[in-house]
Amino acid sequence: MSVKLIECPRDAMQGFHRLISTDQKVEYLNALLKVGFDAIDCGSFVSAKAVPQLADTAEVLKRIDTSASESKLLTIVANERGAEQACSISKVDIIGFPFSISETFQIRNTRQTIFEASERLRNIRRIAEQGNKTLLVYLSMGFGNPYNDDWSPAIAVDYCKRLADEGVQYINLSDTIGRANADDIRRVFSDAIQMLPELEFGAHFHTRPDNYLQNISAAYESGCRKYDAAIKGLGGCPFADDKLTGNLPTELLLDYLNSIGETTNVSQEAFSKAYGLATSVFI
């Protein structure tokens, strides 16, 4: 089983302090489309008031050139209206929906309780199926939370089972605030994969410089073969208290995979060009 790599410029951009122009986004995404990523998390259909940085997602998708790329395009939605918008665009392949183990974070992130988010997820799944899109659920706060909401590896795996019972086939276990440790990562991934082998699990880690390697290793050794990452580790959750916490840096993930002899579809030349372009986009 080969490793799948998902590049996440959407996560890198959404909280960036300076408004990135549509032209810059198009140029950057066109560079990423040449790298060979399995998918690119390229935008979101959520409230422009909530995430003004990504209000131009539809225009960006219209203008990017996907003709010579095999990378799938993923956009995030928070409700049925966003799902319908995503489904109306042929270039979108995957719809991502954030669903939290933590009640507090679910309310902060989407203004819904877990019960309400569950009903919304059912509606979004139907919309995705009708639109011939893949539904990916991000299990947010998948490795604990700062709010004292109940969490344990067993609770995390139980939520995966609940999602599977709702017809979800793709789940990304998300360390939303960079608090996961290797033992919990091993337990959650190994138990979830063993219990639900028909599902595809991925890792969406927000990491610090001192824990990214142990977290990648723990997930890989437990059977995870799909990873979200962002060039330079840009982005991350605004609720994380530690300023060093960002997305898993793509370049460090690639270094790890190369070190263990794992092959990817990434073109190093194209990646280097995209990496250089990121320096001018995120300034």
Question: DSSP 3-state helix, strand, coil percentages of the chain (rounded to 5)?
Answer: 45, 20, 35
Contact 42, 33 (CB under 8 A): no
Q: pTM surpassing 0.75?
A: yes
Contacts of 142 (CB under 8 A, 6+ apart): 101, 156, 173, 174, 175, 176, 180, 188
Sign (positive or negative) of CA dihedral 143, 148, 152, 158: negative
CB environment 115-146: b (16+ within 10 A), e (fewer): eebeebbeebbebbeebebbbbbbbbbbbbbe
Contact 147, 102 (CB under 8 A): yes
Contact 234, 204 (CB under 8 A): no
Q: Which residue has the tokens 């489904």?
A: 87
Tell me how many degrees the CA angle 103-200-226 measures, rounded to the nearest 5.
95
DSSP 232: G
- pLDDT at position 97 is 96
- Is the backbone of residue 146 left (phi > 0), alpha (psi -120 to 50) or beta? alpha
Enter the CATH code of domain 4-281. Answer: 3.20.20.70
Closest to 139 measured CA to CA, from 223, 186, 204? 204
Compute CA 190 distance to the chain's CA centroid, rounded to the nearest angstrom: 20
Distance CA 70, CA 246 (A): 27
Work out the burial of residue 269: count CB atoms within 10 Å of its CB; fewer than 13 is exposed, 13-18 middle, 19 or more buried.
exposed
Kindly give the confidence (pLDDT) of every residue in the chain, 283 residues in length, as a single tens digit, with 9 standing for 90 and above: 589 999 999 999 998 989 999 999 999 999 999 999 999 999 999 989 889 999 999 999 999 999 999 999 999 999 999 999 999 999 999 999 999 999 999 998 888 899 999 999 999 999 999 999 999 999 999 999 999 999 999 999 999 999 999 999 999 999 988 889 999 999 999 999 999 999 999 999 998 888 899 999 999 999 999 999 999 999 866 544 545 568 999 999 999 999 999 989 999 999 999 999 999 999 8
Please provide the DSSP assignment of 68-90 as one string: T---EEEEEESSHHHHHHHHT-T
Give the phi and the psi of residue 160 in degrees, each rounded to 5: -60, -40
Distance CA 209, CA 145 (A): 20
For the chain, give every domain's residue range.
4-281
Closest to 83 measured CA to CA, from 70, 66, 96? 96
Q: Which residue has the tokens 């089983």?
A: 1
